[in-house]
Amino acid sequence: MARQFDVPTFYKSPIVSVVKEARRIQDPRKKDLSPSILDFGPVRFNLARHFGFCYGVENAIEIAYKAIEEADGRRIFLLSEMIHNPHVNEDLISRGIQFLRTTSGKQLIPFEELKPDDMVIIPAFGTTLETMQLLSDIGVDVEAYNTTCPFVEKVWTRSEKIGSQDYTVIVHGKRLHEETRATFSHARSVAPVVVVKDMVEARQLASVIRGSESKEYFYEQFEGKYSEGFDVEVDLVRLGVVNQTTMLATETAEIAALLKRALFERYGNDGISHFADTSDTLCYATNENQDATRRLIDQKADLALIIGGANSSNTSHLVELCEEHMPTYFIGGPESLISRTQIKHFDLHSHDVKHSYDWLPETNPLEILLTAGASCPDVLLDRVMSQICSWFPDASSPETALKPFLEITA
């Protein structure tokens, strides 16, 4: 049986929890990716089969609230945002937790101000070896409240393993993301490392591997994205690809295939042995959420609402998948739904918060696709659905919409 985490009750939901439990009973092996339909009459919500808190996030939340209970007057610090969800982080701050850094790495409180008996929570993304050493030197117990996701640690372990076998580690990720900074640090302790953000950068790297671009081209295009002392002529001969666990898993696979092909074109049949298979490091939750979103898109709808923090990488990829097919709004929660005619949402392309008007079509019934990132509490989906239903006087009650699911869980 999957481990059950002690997540605070205010993160749990009266509506979505019933749907998830019914789907768990019907499909314990999680093979059926068809969405769950909540029919409120004039508005129908199509919920993705998989969304919301993953194993790593629930583990992090449990540890963080355990730290609050055990503080007994001691100061509690978070190294940076524990997860990329403002609702969760704001609640932790309201309970006295202070942030040492921003998500981009800017220091808010100098480490010199820390004391050995302070409690420091390592976020789910993990942190660098250098930061762990700094905290240890101060005397802080870095393992007591370390919420690093086990799947992130799995990437580190595999990076270190292939690095010790003379492979260069290629990290598919965003160079300044906390998780990628941490993975870069762990990998470079044993191997040369390069970070590639997407297929565009992967193609640039492949051209260097094939020899069609020079080493000067590499150093220019990947400035700030490779480890110190990186030697193009030596370090692009044997490669292995790992990823920031919140990236598009399909893109990681495409990048790996592209670089493997480049090695084959450069070294012939011997090129195959120049590539390490790391496909088993892909995060199961990221895969499930992305696959479920693709199936959700097959369910034709008027629009999609994706809930999560604006700086949440895994949520942004769900938005990217949906916006190719329909009007899509990336929202933080019910507070983003200003009215039936106005919505506040984050634009991935301009990186700004925008206000859109007349966003809700007049169709009847209105079909809305609904999903959320891995750091989003289920209760926010409940509140979003309730807010929208409040604009329809003839909308059915939650109990009516939940009837098919309650019959399964009864």
Residues annotated catalytic, as ranges: 179
Burial class (CB within 10 angstroms; exposed 0-12, middle 13-18, buried 19+) of 21: middle
What is the rounded distance in angstroms from the CA atom of residue 126 to the CA atom of residue 245? 12
β-strand pairing of 76-78 with 119-121: parallel
3 state DSSP class of 105: coil
Considering only CA atoms, which of 332, 368, 196 is closest in space to residue 343? 332
Name the DSSP class of 281: G
CA angle 131, 134, 140 (to 5 degrees): 105
Q: Cα–chain-centroid distance for residue 241?
A: 18
The Cα 203–Cα 196 span in angstroms is: 10
Separation CA 200–CA 203 (nearest Å): 5
At which residue do the structure tokens 């042995």 appear? 273
Pull the structure tokens for residue 355: 């206000």
Round to whole Å and give the CA distance between 215 and 221: 10
Written as six digits, the tokens of 293 are 């979103």
What is d(CA 89, CA 93) in angstroms, rounded to the nearest whole number?
Answer: 6
Closest CA to 69 of 89, 87, 50, 92: 92
263 neighbors 274 (Cβ within 8 angstroms): yes
Report the C-alpha gap between 95 and 5 in whole angstroms. Answer: 20
